[in-house]
Amino acid sequence: MQKFELNLKETRHTIPLWVGTDLWPTLRQYLGAHYQGRTLFLISDSRVGSLYRRTVLENLSEFFPEEHFILFPEGEASKSREQLARLQDMLLEHKAGRDTLLLALGGGVSGDLVGFLAATLHRGVDLIHLPTSLLAQVDSSIGGKVGINHPVGKNLIGAFYQPRAIFTDIRFLDTLAEEEYLNGLGEVIKYAAILDGELWTWLEKEREKILQRDSAILEKIVARCVELKIAVVEKDEKESRYRSILNFGHTVGHAIEKLSHYEVKHGFAVAAGMKIAARLSNQLLGLPRSWVNRLDQLLEAYRLNRTNLADFSLDQLWNVLLTDKKSRRQHPHFTLLKAPQQAELFYPVQKEELERALSAF
């Protein structure tokens, strides 16, 4: 087990984050020390909640009654105003006061929805993340981005709201569906591309073990990504500038998610977005073509090459890019690489340049 700390300068907040296998005793100890006598609720989606109901109740029954174990339907559709209202109603019916602690058990949807619920209930109650998907463990549980979707787009209603603690138990990955696991690996490859040559080498060399979810290598990889994300968030919590390094592959990635009506999962869309960002980086900033090829090979090795870019026309992509909140003065801005692990932020890209990148396959 490893313990990390996320230190936020602005609010002088320190958030402990544990990574390991079987963290239940550590969580019990933490709750005993900080939340004895408080009102606790554990909220999870229907899939994860049913898988872990017994384990949760066995381990945490001293902290809350069974009716405080609340489920919402699995899936992105639950990141809605309706579901938020339903959970708010339930909590208030159960007399959740200002001393409430919400435990968010699940993947990205649970973290975002329950996080936003915590941010808004009584102007903010305590929150602990228990991320169960690889994507949530390496990315979405860290850094305080919480929110729900609006019919107009994803994550349009939200807040920065930091949890009190994060418990990242690698064991949860055992029950993750294969697609979800690969989805998370898309973000892991992104960290390696933008920040960490050593992680890149592990990904190239340890493919078999990683795909078999070998727990030792997984713990090492998750811990490394956690460290990388913490370092980024500590430098720029509210994404004034530097945090946008994490958007490598995300500009086109988000457009693909939107154009596919979210049929293409985030990690797969980001994988396609990274391929385009790498080609733009090669054309505009001289990123070596040999490295672009290595990226392609790595994405192939982890079965992340799913998106057929020919399914989307240049005009379709361009129009969505222009509506991106990061676009300025009619130009989408990309996170690119001038060399491996050397990012160039907010690079304005012209339509002809995107066209050239799309034809460079």
Q: Which of 107, 143, 147, 253 binds ligand GLY (CB under 6 A)?
A: 143
Residue 27 or 223 having the CB closest to ligand GLY: 223
- Between 243 and 279, CB nearer to ligand GLY: 243
224 contributes a contact to ligand GLY by CB under 6 A = no
Per CB under 6 A, contacts with ligand GLY among 165-204 are none
Note if 250 is an active site residue. yes
CB of 164 to ligand GLY, least distance (A): 18
Tell me which of 190, 220, 224, 243 binds ligand GLY, using CB under 6 A: 243
Catalytic residue, from 68, 79, 129, 145: name it. 145
Active site residue 145: yes
Q: Please tell me whether residue 220 binds ligand GLY under the rule CB under 6 A.
A: no
Coil, strand or helix: which one is 341? coil
346 by Cβ neighbours in 10 Å (0-12 / 13-18 / 19+) ranks as middle
Name the helix (H) or strand (E) containing 17. strand 13-20
Q: Which stretch binds ligand GLY (CB under 6 A): 74-82, 239-247, 292-300, 301-309?
A: 239-247
Tell me how crowded residue 73 is: count the other CB atoms within 10 A of its CB.
11
Question: How many alpha carbons lie under 13 Å from residue 136 in its C-beta half-sphere?
Answer: 27
Minimum separation from the CB atom of position 229 to ligand GLY (A): 7
The distance in angstroms from the start CA to the end CA of the chain is 43
CB of 62 to ligand GLY, least distance (A): 34
Distance CA(276)–CA(334), nearest Å, equals: 10
- Does 139 help bind ligand GLY (rule: CB under 6 A)? yes
The verdict on whether 123 is a catalytic residue reads yes
Using CB under 6 A as the binding rule, whether residue 145 contacts ligand GLY is answered as yes
> DSSP of 200-241, one letter per residue?
HHHHHH-HHHHHTT-HHHHHHHHHHHHHHHHHHHHH-TT-SS
Q: Is 229 a catalytic residue?
A: yes
The least distance separating ligand GLY from the CB of residue 217, rounded to whole angstroms, comes to 23
Exactly one of 74, 180, 187, 219 is catalytic; name it. 187
**In degrees, to the nearest 5, what angle opens at C-alpha 290 toward C-alphas 296 and 274?**
35
Separation CA 322–CA 313 (nearest Å)? 14
Of the candidate spans 48-56, 86-94, 138-146, 318-326, the one that interacts with ligand GLY by CB under 6 A turns out to be 138-146
Non-local (6+) Cβ contacts of 339 within 8 A are 287, 288
State yes or no: residue 246 binds ligand GLY (CB under 6 A). Answer: yes
What SS3 class is residue 139?
Answer: helix
Residue 236 or 355 having the CB closest to ligand GLY: 236
- Give the span between the Cα atoms of 191 and 197, in whole angstroms: 9
Active-site residue among 180, 220, 237, 247? Answer: 247
* Interatomic CA distance for residues 320 and 174, integer angstroms: 36
Residues marked active site are found at: 123, 145, 187, 229, 239, 243, 247, 250, 254, 266
Residues interacting with ligand GLY, by CB under 6 A?
Answer: 139, 143, 145, 239, 243, 246
